Structure 1
């Protein structure tokens, strides 16, 4: 499978933008890039994808594994498999010459999107709508070709297809939508002074949180999760970041959009900041995606995901605060064990009622 990369925060995007900085000929000072980003609505569901390759059967995947109707995630493979080939040959290849070219050359085509609506995620406007697959990115993976002229091994390479190539791909009668069917946003970010973008990014996010544009499209009113921003001209879709609304934030920071690293003098203050209920619920989502039951015998899996996610997402804050992994592992276990026990008991009662 080809996993979808994590979408980081604006703070991490500021660091990543340094790779695109230039140095003037008469100075050693770096000029950080000025970039134009396109924002699309961030949908609260579960990450999903359909993959295609010539002379092979299509496959479905969740964020972390290949799924099938017999080993599914939220019913995505069960829904998509029966018409996956028809969708590709009728609704994609005739309308996208670039995808057709790569498909004929034997490259992999991976169509990423959000499987959402239904009962997949609560606390958003699209909850309760018919389940839908909303395409938000397409990746081309060039295949391994052996060795080059110098007998050097060549490996598969990949790139994101520009939205101009695929923003028309959809099949509404099959509940397959395109993220560009819905409102989009633009912003120019000067990474020499990223703080100048904070206010605009915050206002757009708050607007989406107040009323989800995708929900409004279907006459369903309620909150949205946030916005995902991608830059295409200079980085070919590789520089992205997300801004979530207050109700979906996984940290307790005061600002929705941070440009400075948070620092803490005590481990328990850092844990209070980073190990929120929203983040714990993301750990539960991971367990469901892996078909791991939510019960006390699987507490270790829950804790492992939390520690890994916090160490990855909050690495800068940990470094600035001189906090190590061992310290947070113990503190996270102490903070979350009772919460997980309560959730596991509620989950068992729910399953018993359904039986």
Structure 2
């Protein structure tokens, strides 16, 4: 496993604002648990500004501290981001088990593009054993805590291996495997490092810890400098994937998922994904430094930065996963997915740059249609 720790930047102690000093409340401890909390894996932001904004909002709501303060420091723990197909093992109170993907709440042998269900459903005994190991470890690490049985245990992971994705080292693995990325108990995500040894490699269930851990800080008074440090790790992963290397396979990786140190990291709003240049789906943040043009020019430039080939390919893959035929009848679903993905992930940039949304949608629609038509000609 790669040693991925880098020394954090120095700061004056009296200026450093951390979660312990602020005594920020953990919403998962005091908020009432929903009867049926969502089991869908959260969408992780790739925007540093989104994480900062969410932190400032939480800070203002729970402590009343002026959000103009810039001395906050969030410790981040990173793991290798794997380019495969997302899959979750959801185990309910009665030990019934369901498998879900990013877009489908229930995978079955009959409806499963990547054949996750046909491999994982027979491993129910092993999955229940992992559930028990996670729960026992949780109770050991949190004396006095109780497990809310209304909340399922979610073992979130990535389905990787041959035939799932192209152009990454893990596609060279000899067989498809499930890699544990995050685990939820009591509707809150657990920290990764204290559970790093929980896996069952004999049956093809690995832990993301096999690729090592990264440690950095997000310093609010130096966001650009912090981002440079995160990106340096990310580019190193893209050059040589540590997870694949642990199997003796050399090649390209995708990036890193950073989670805030607990208790903040229980909430996925305080996670951040950083991707290498080959896998990035947006370059809109770079537009902030460019001079403003007309509304039409700004909308066109934003569309070109947001509707990248990688994002379009994700929309193309979405159709396949959902069983939507990729012909002219599927173009509406394709455009809807891409445009919605941009509107969600780029919401902050759209607002900050005052992009005309009607013009933006018009430009995105034209780009999606042109790409889709060309893709059909090539397939």
**Pairwise TM-score range, normalised by the shorter structure:** 0.7 to 0.9
CA contact (8 A) 2:56 2:67 kept: no
CA contact (8 A) 2:172 2:249 kept: no
Give the 3 Å change call, closer, same or farther, for CA 303–161 of structure 1 in structure 2: same
Q: Could you state the TM-score of these two structures normalised by the residue count of structure 1?
A: 0.83
1:61 equivalent to 2:100? Answer: yes
1:168 to 176, 197, 213: 197
Q: Distance in 1 between matches of 2:233 and 2:258?
A: 11
Q: Distance in 2 between matches of 1:194 and 1:273?
A: 21
Deviations 1:188-218 (A, max 9, x none): 2222332221221121111001111112112
Aligned to 1:7: 44
CA contact (8 A) 1:93 1:99 kept: no
| Structure 1: unaligned runs, 5 residues or longer | 142-157, 348-355
SS at match of 1:236: helix
Q: CA deviation at 1:251?
A: 1.9
Q: CA deviation at 1:74?
A: 0.9
2:121 to 77, 81, 85: 81
Give the 3 Å change call, closer, same or farther, for CA 324–78 of structure 1 in structure 2: farther
1:217 equivalent to 2:256? Answer: no
SS at match of 2:319: helix
Aligned to 1:37: 76
CA contact (8 A) 1:49 1:111 kept: yes
CA contact (8 A) 2:235 2:276 kept: yes
CA contact (8 A) 1:208 1:226 kept: yes
Q: CA deviation at 1:73?
A: 3.3
Q: Distance in 2 between matches of 1:124 and 1:40?
A: 16
Q: CA deviation at 1:127?
A: 1.4
Q: Distance in 2 between matches of 1:168 and 1:323?
A: 47
Q: Distance in 2 between matches of 1:27 and 1:253?
A: 28
Deviations 1:21-67 (A, max 9, x none): 47999989535521111010000011110111132521000012211
Q: CA deviation at 1:102?
A: 6.8
CA RMSD, 1 decimal: 2.8
Q: CA deviation at 1:330?
A: 2.0
2:129 to 72, 87, 90: 90
Q: Distance in 1 between matches of 2:65 and 2:192?
A: 38
CA contact (8 A) 1:68 1:77 kept: yes
Q: CA deviation at 1:136?
A: 0.7
1:118 equivalent to 2:162? Answer: yes
1:272 to 304, 307, 328: 304
Q: Distance in 2 between matches of 1:163 and 1:215?
A: 19
Aligned to 1:17: 55
CA contact (8 A) 2:59 2:65 kept: no
Q: Could you state the TM-score of these two structures normalised by the residue count of structure 2?
A: 0.78
Q: Distance in 2 between matches of 1:332 and 1:104?
A: 44
Aligned to 1:153: none
2:221 to 192, 206, 214: 192
Say which structure, 1 or 2, has more relative contact order (CA 8 Å, 6+ apart): 2
Q: CA deviation at 1:344?
A: 2.8
Aligned to 1:245: 276
Q: Distance in 2 between matches of 1:82 and 1:114?
A: 18
1:46 equivalent to 2:85? Answer: yes
Q: Distance in 1 between matches of 2:148 and 2:350?
A: 47
| Structure 2: unaligned runs, 5 residues or longer | 1-37, 140-144
Aligned to 1:327: 359
Deviations 1:261-297 (A, max 9, x none): 8775312211111111111011112222212222221
Residue-pair matches, total: 327
CA contact (8 A) 1:139 1:161 kept: yes
Q: Distance in 1 between matches of 2:253 and 2:291?
A: 29
Q: Distance in 2 between matches of 1:319 and 1:27?
A: 22
